[in-house]
Amino acid sequence: GSGSHARFLSSSSGRSDFRVKRVSIEGNIAVGKSTFAKLLQSACSDWEVVAEPVSKWQNIKSGSPQTTVSNLLQMMYKEPERWSYTFQTFSCMSRFRTQLQPPPAHLLKSEGTPVQVYERSIYSDRYIFALNMFELGCINDTEWAVYQDWHSLLVEQFGHQVELEGIIYLRASPEKCMERLKLRGRSEEKEVELDYLKKLHIQHEKWLVEKSAEIHFEKLKNVPVLQLDGSAEFLTDPKVRQFRSDFLPSLPA
């Protein structure tokens, strides 16, 4: 509720020289993270969204002198046993890279509480996706050990620079996410089955609701989680619109 919302925005980031707070939006595939993130950004000039680098995963340039472009997202969905480990190294690296970027100057100058909003995090990379691929047998024991080893090293070395103030969990049924996934029709996702979304849903629940996931980072366990009903249609639901006009009058109706 609003209590936890206020709590994670008012607590200190632990760095006196650096007021920018970081919030990650988590949730199943196609639940509506980007739509929600854009709403946050348009509601408040102090909030900046850093999108998930999906387009980078779809366009990897390799080879010379002729450059070929490969679509790792597609390769991962087509042949998960061959490509999941490679995918997770690249998705996690690109998440680290974008989240380590310094915030833009306008945020640093802002007088309010500047917030950077991430679509997913280095933590969902490990505790949702990589773990799920391991449990499905698409990442083998050796790959999983190697992934966890370098993931922990990077978090220990750089974690303080990407510390989260809070997590927003957009929660919806796997069926609802499937409906939206079909609606948006991203070609790589054609073969995604409801069962896969159900498994990802359970991983989210274990980490963010039941708190029963085996998390290796003490700080992460204490990050407050704001749970929001992701089944609402944020752009058209009358109740959401009413809330927006009452509390966020700066937004276009």
Answer yes or no whether residue 39 interacts with ligand DGT by CB under 6 A.
no
Q: From the CB of 151, what's the least distance to ligand DGT, in Å?
A: 11
Determine the 3-state secondary structure of 167 from DSSP.
strand
Choices 41-49, 85-93, 101-109, 149-157 (CB under 6 A): range interacting with ligand DGT: 85-93
By CB under 6 A, the residues from 171 to 190 that bind ligand DGT are 189
DSSP element (H, E) containing 243:
helix 238-247
Answer yes or no whether residue 143 interacts with ligand DGT by CB under 6 A.
no
Choices 24-32, 107-115, 146-154, 157-165 (CB under 6 A): range interacting with ligand DGT: 24-32
Query: In this complex, which beta carbon is closest to ligand DGT, that of residue 110 or of residue 124?
Result: 124
Candidates 170, 161, 154; CA nearest to 119 is: 170
Answer yes or no whether residue 76 interacts with ligand DGT by CB under 6 A.
yes
Interacting residues of 189 by C-beta distance below 8 A, sequence separation 6+: 29, 30, 77, 181
Beta strand 68-70 with 60-62 is antiparallel
Query: In this complex, which beta carbon is closest to ligand DGT, that of residue 48 or of residue 52?
Result: 52
Answer yes or no whether residue 91 interacts with ligand DGT by CB under 6 A.
yes
- In contact, 224 and 8? CB cutoff 8 Å: yes
DSSP element (H, E) containing 118:
strand 115-119
Annotated catalytic sites, by residue?
119
Q: From the list 22, 33, 176, 204, which residue makes contact with ligand DGT (rule: CB under 6 A)?
A: 33
- In contact, 138 and 87? CB cutoff 8 Å: no
What's the chain's length in residues? Answer: 253
Residues interacting with ligand DGT, by CB under 6 A? 27, 29-34, 52, 54, 73, 76, 87-88, 91, 119, 125, 129, 133, 189
